[in-house]
């Protein structure tokens, strides 16, 4: 255990987050997402949902401030304007963690799978709400 570090952040997850550089992309996904298919390292968090995982990750992981959408979500039912309660809650959590206004970038579902090939790693949760898949772009600390 480390003081001041969320216990959900295992050594393996902390190492991945620390090794990532500015602009690298982290996938945070639900239980239905084919996490291993991307060929990237997968950290499985067990019986944890996306919001709990995001709370831990965003406590140490800066979102990119050089791009318009450092947080992206999977499109819901082919409608870029439609969101789920989970997506709304995660956006609010990210705004609070970053202490700034944020808006989602929206990725069509099939494009999300293609984009996953460029991710640094995947954090897999057992989130049961559909469309619980997100891309977090790593920023810098000034």
Residue 27 included in any domain: yes
* Confidence grade of residue 142 (pLDDT, cut at 50, 70, 90): confident
Write out the residue range of the structural domain in which residue 33 sits.
11-137
Cα end-to-end span (Å), the chain: 27
Residue 6 included in any domain: no
1, pLDDT greater than 80: no
49, pLDDT greater than 90: yes
Where are the strands (E) in the chain, listed by range? 25-29, 42-44, 71-74, 105-107, 121-124, 134-137
- Residue 90's pLDDT is what? 98
Mean predicted confidence (pLDDT) in 47-52 = 97
84-96 pLDDT, tens digit per residue, is 999 999 999 999 9
Residue 3 included in any domain: no
Q: Is 22 considered catalytic here? A: yes
50-93 pLDDT, tens digit per residue, is 999 999 999 999 999 999 999 999 999 999 999 999 999 999 99
Residue 5 included in any domain: no
Number of domain units in the chain: 1
Residue 52 included in any domain: yes
Residue 44 included in any domain: yes
Domain CATH number, residue 75: 3.40.1650.10
pTM for the predicted model, two decimal places: 0.96
- d(C-alpha 87, C-alpha 61), whole Å: 19
Residue 1 included in any domain: no
Q: Give the mean pLDDT of the chain.
A: 96
Residue 130 included in any domain: yes
């Amino acid at each position: 255990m480390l003081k001041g570090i969320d216990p959900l952040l295992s050594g393996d997850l902390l190492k991945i987050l620390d090794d990532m550089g500015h602009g690298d992309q982290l996938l945070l996904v639900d239980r239905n997402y084919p996490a291993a298919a991307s060929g990237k390292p997968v950290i499985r968090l067990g019986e944890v949902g996306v919001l709990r995982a995001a709370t831990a990750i965003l406590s140490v992981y800066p979102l990119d401030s050089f791009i318009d959408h450092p947080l992206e979500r999977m499109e819901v039912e082919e409608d870029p304007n439609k969101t789920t309660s989970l997506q709304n809650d995660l956006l609010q959590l990210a705004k609070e963690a970053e202490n700034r206004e944020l808006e989602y970038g929206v990725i069509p579902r099939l494009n999300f799978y293609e984009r996953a090939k460029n991710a640094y790693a995947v954090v897999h949760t057992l989130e049961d709400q559909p469309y619980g898949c997100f891309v977090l772009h790593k920023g810098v600390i000034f």
